[in-house]
Amino acid sequence: KAGVTQTPRYLIKTRGQQVTLSCSPISGHRSVSWYQQTPGQGLQFLFEYFSETQRNKGNFPGRFSGRQFSNSRSEMNVSTLELGDSALYLCASSLRGNTEAFFGQGTRLTVV
Amino acid sequence: GQNIDQPTEMTATEGAIVQINCTYQTSGFNGLFWYQQHAGEAPTFLSYNVLDGLEEKGRFSSFLSRSKGYSYLLLKELQMKDSASYLCAVRDSVANQGGKLIFGQGTELSVKP
């Protein structure tokens, strides 16, 4: 069974640009959550999607958005990038959201 | 508020046993997770406790006491490859409503020969 797949693995963007990250969950999993990991703040919850609907949201500005497709794949978008958005972005896949959660390899975003 | 506390660093000897503690205060609770994260890599799932008691999985065991807001991860027969950061996380939600994971800052474990 394939694990959680995130693309791309690495990304370098310039301040002010926007970026889209992709996450394909484990087959059959319907919940996808996104997290930001930085050395100073650790792992912080961005949002969760279940059956194409945002079910939970963390405390991030509106520049961070996401969506989920009917095949449960999810995308995360960050607009007007700031230097502080440089981080490892992780998505976690879960069957329904209330069971074990498994992480993808992450996308390392560097904003210059 | 939401708070998860775990020691910042621990050191142990190869072949020994180490216990990493985690205490939590969250507005909701629907499970506690332990993850292992090697430098530069994604977190790897180790265990999930939703009921009180001990869950054993090979060299790793995890314990939960919901009344005390306390968990620990026990690693036996330590190996050099166990050197990593260990993350404690609580799912803050009611059942069947999904929810977010709130993470502690992680415990950096160094295993010495």
Percent of chain A with pLDDT over 90: 84
Distance between first and last Cα of chain B: 40
The pLDDT of residue B97 is: 61
Q: Is A20 a residue whose pLDDT tops 90?
A: yes
The pLDDT of residue B100 is: 83
Instruction: State the pLDDT confidence band at B47, using cuts at 50, 70 and 90.
Output: very high
Residues of B in contact with A104 (CB under 8 A): 42
Residues of A in contact with B91 (CB under 8 A): 98, 101
Check: CB of residue B6 under 8 Å from CB of residue B107.
yes
Instruction: State the pLDDT confidence band at A2, using cuts at 50, 70 and 90.
Output: confident
Q: What φ, ψ does residue B87 adopt, rounded to 5°?
A: -105, 130
Pairwise pLDDT comparison (B29 vs B11), residue with the higher score: B11
Q: Do A44 and B31 touch (CB under 8 A)?
A: no
**B52-111: per-residue pLDDT in tens?**
999 999 999 999 999 999 999 999 999 999 999 999 999 887 555 666 889 999 999 999
Cβ partners under 8 Å of residue B38, min gap 6: B84, B85
Residues of A in contact with B31 (CB under 8 A): 98
The pLDDT of residue A98 is: 73
Residues of B in contact with A45 (CB under 8 A): 100-102
Q: What φ, ψ does residue A66 adopt, rounded to 5°?
A: -155, 180
Which residue, B76, B70, B77, B75, is CA-closest to B85? Answer: B75
Residues of B in contact with A110 (CB under 8 A): none
Instruction: State the pLDDT confidence band at B35, using cuts at 50, 70 and 90.
Output: very high
Instruction: State the pLDDT confidence band at B2, using cuts at 50, 70 and 90.
Output: confident
Interface check A25 vs B, CB under 8 A? no
Instruction: State the pLDDT confidence band at B40, using cuts at 50, 70 and 90.
Output: confident
Pairwise pLDDT comparison (B2 vs A67), residue with the higher score: A67
CA pair distance A55, A32, nearest whole angstrom: 10
Nearest to B96 among A98, A102, A106 (CB): A98
The pLDDT of residue B26 is: 87
The pLDDT of residue A96 is: 79
The pLDDT of residue A81 is: 98
Q: Distance from B83 to chain A by nearest Cα, in Å?
A: 18
Q: Distance from B33 to chain A by nearest Cα, in Å?
A: 8
Interface check A44 vs B, CB under 8 A? yes
Nearest-CA residue of chain A relative to B49?
A100
* Average pLDDT for B10-30: 94
Interface check B95 vs A, CB under 8 A? yes
**A23-69: per-residue pLDDT in tens?**
999 999 999 999 999 988 899 999 999 999 998 889 999 999 999 99
C-alpha dihedral sign at A84, B91, B33, B4: positive
Find residue A34's DSSP bridge partners: A47, A91
